[in-house]
Amino acid sequence: MKVLVTVKEVAAVEDDFEIAGTEIDDTYLEYDLNEWDDYAVEEGVQLSEAGDDVEVVTVTIGPERAEETIRMALAKGADRAIRVWDDALEDAELLDVESKSKILSAVVEAEDPDLVLSGVQASDDSFGGTGVALADEVGFEWAAVVNSLDLDVDEQVAHVRRELEGGVEELADVETPAVLTIQTGINEPRYASLRGIRQAQSKEIDPQSFDDLGLDAAVADSALEITDMYEPESESDAQFLDGSAEEQAGELAGVLRDLGVVGQ
């Protein structure tokens, strides 16, 4: 069985930052593996540990710099990685759901996995649509916001739970091959061991261009364009308690007593 896990290197913004045009200057960004994808990788690795002959392959769309992040997934137990990049992507300001799902669909067609795991969303652009759009593009079934997976390989069905709003979970059976978008909390992602990190150095990261995947450069064209980026204006009318920590705590204690939730 083959499990394909889509992973993304995401940018996190420091507390203080500056916006230059429609971007945040690179000096204020830190790169890391997308949190949701970390859970998806763990789910894939757990499947490979539970079953015989399960290969876990990760795929990312990203420049060479992203390899550092991808190696974390390899260090945690993924068998190999594919990194898609192309000159056409260098100039693309915003890669929308349509572009990403079309690029990833070429990889799905080449790899022919039994299951695709993807994070629910990426913490930087937060579109939350690539997994489901990818499933539709390749004709796989899918389930979004999955927080429990019980895969029945023989019956070709994934028994999943989907985390709905308000503390309600939906139980659903999904035919495989399928794309599942993975919610945080489905498992406990492992830390990469030193041994894993060493082993990851020798694992393959296969670079793939649009040519390799039979894609046209136009796939990088986005119908969406970011025309403005700004810090939201604070709507705060909070009364701030100032002073040293002791003074702040003293004032807060007074507030809590006044509100009547703590005894005198």
Partner 1 sequence: MSNVLVVADHRRGELRDVSFELLTAGRQVADATGGDLHAAVVSGDVEEFGDQLNREGVDAVHTVANGEEFNHDVYVQATEALAADVDAEFIVLPNSVNGLDYAPAVANRLDRPYVSDVIDAAYDGGVLEATREMYGSKVETTVEVADGPFVVSIRPGEWPAAEGVGDASVEAADVDIDDSQVRSTVTGFEEVGGGDVDIADAEFLVSIGRGIEEEENLELIEALVEATGATMSSSRPIVDNGWLPKNRQVGQSGKQVTPKVYLAIGISGAVQHVAGMKNAETIIAINTDPNAPIFDIADYGIVGDLFDVVPALIEEFGGDAPNV
Contacting partner 1 within 111-130 (CB under 8 A): 120, 123-130
Report if residue 164 touches partner 1, rule: CB under 8 A: yes
- Residues from 48 through 67 that contact partner 1 (CB under 8 A): none
Residue type, 92: A
In the bound complex, what is the minimum distance in angstroms from residue 237's beta carbon to partner 1? 8
Nearest Cα residue to 40 out of 107, 128, 138, 119: 119
Measured from the CB atom, the residue of 94 and 211 that comes closer to partner 1 is 94
What sign results for the dihedral spanned by CA atoms 232, 233, 235, 237?
positive
Complex with partner 1: residue 21 or 201, whichever CB lies closer: 21
> Could you tell me the two tokens for 248?
């702040």
Closer by beta carbon to partner 1, 173 or else 204? 173
Residue 250 CB neighbours (<10 A)? 12
Q: Assess 145 for contact with partner 1 (CB under 8 A).
A: yes
**In angstroms, what is the minimal distance from the CB of 204 to partner 1?**
30
**Contacting residues for 208 by C-beta, under 8 A, at least 6 apart:** 82, 83, 84, 85, 107
* Integer Rg of the chain from CA: 22
20 counts as binding partner 1 under rule CB under 8 A: no
Q: Is the dihedral of CA 121, 169, 133, 44 positive or negative?
A: positive
| 90 part of the interface to partner 1, by CB under 8 A | no
Joined together, the tokens standing for residue 192 give 């990469």
Site for partner 1 contains 218 (CB under 8 A): no
Candidates 135, 151, 182, 213: give the one binding partner 1 (CB under 8 A).
135
Q: What string marks each residue from 167 to 196 as x (binds partner 1 by CB under 8 A) or -?
A: xxxxxxxxx-----x--xx--x--------
